[in-house]
Structure 1
Amino acid sequence: MYLFNVRVYGLLVNDENEVLISDEKTQNVSFTKFPGGGLEYGEGLIDALKREFMEECALEVDVVKHIYTTDFYEKSSFNESQIISVYYQVKPLMPITFDIKKSPFDFSNEKQQDKMEVFRFVNMDTLLEGSLTFRTDQMAWRTFKALVK
């Protein structure tokens, strides 16, 4: 039996025209993606995205609009499941108070754990698709940039 893994992610753009991205290290693999994560059983997409932002960033967000849903086959990088990713534009409902890094994969002040995650803002004009690790994030970024032009 093949399993589906539903993921939900948020694209948050600040007043300086920068988008929030997450640098993560897990299972000795490093990757850059948009904030978000997996849908839990019995949970809706919007609720899952709001939960993920609270868990990862201690930030309440509101969903502005749907951006992209995976429309191709994508196998998980971590198991045998098929990934289905849904992307939304979000806006913060409170001031951002979590630590924002300036450099990619700056885990210097982080407690060493099996999974580490840090956040940084990148100017929308300089964030390249290739800077994002996963194809689904790359497609969502391409779609989002086309919508905001």
Structure 2
Amino acid sequence: MQFNVRVYGLLINNEREVLLTDEQVEGYRFTKFPGGGVEFGEGMTQALKREFIEECNTEVEVLSHFYTTDFYVKSAFNDSQIIAVYYLVKPVNELNFTLKTTAFDFDGDGPALQCFRWKKLNELKPEDVTFPIDQYVVKLLNEQK
């Protein structure tokens, strides 16, 4: 069994909305928090900052740890076990990417598509995100309202 270490950022704006990313990879659509895989030799916060630059063209400051997976989750894409770490983040500068208002409102075509949108925290439900760990994190966010 291999481990798949992931890191995600919870970016919450002044209107109490959290940033979500809608993605499509080889026909499979999913919604999650921005972030992704930790590469060999990276620390968690270093990987998160890299992911935000790669995905969002935005530099973020890591504010605090929010949650680390404490239950077993098998990857949706292979036979690895997911270990996911979530941090509260804020942008260093103004956001530098296009925001959408509708889920899966992709620009262009291709094997991998991505778009971003805000979701009001007081309306966020576990079913708004695809993966089990993200759904658990939504429950934790809801407890902090």
Under a length normalisation based on structure 2, what TM-score does the superposition of the two structures give? Answer: 0.97
1:123 maps to 2:143: no
Alignment check: 8 A CA contact 1:13 1:91 kept: yes
CA drift of 1:127 comes to: 1.2
Q: 1:50-105 CA distances to partner (integer Å, 9 max, x unpaired)?
A: 00000000101011111111111100100111100000110010001200000011
Equivalences, count: 145
SS of structure 1 residue aligned to 2:123: coil
Given that 1:62 and 1:91 are in contact with CA atoms closer than 8 Å, whether structure 2 keeps it comes out as yes
Residue in structure 2 matched with residue 18 of structure 1 by the alignment: 17
1:73 alignment partner, SS class: coil
In the TM superposition, what are the counterparts of 1:1-149 in structure 2 within 5 Å? 2-107=1-106, 110-147=107-144, 149=145
TM-score computed with the length of structure 1 as normaliser: 0.94
Amino acid at match of 1:111: G
Give the 4+ runs in structure 1 shifted more than 3 A.
Answer: none
**Over aligned residue pairs, what C-alpha RMSD do you find?**
0.9
8 A Cα contact 2:125 2:139, kept in partner: no
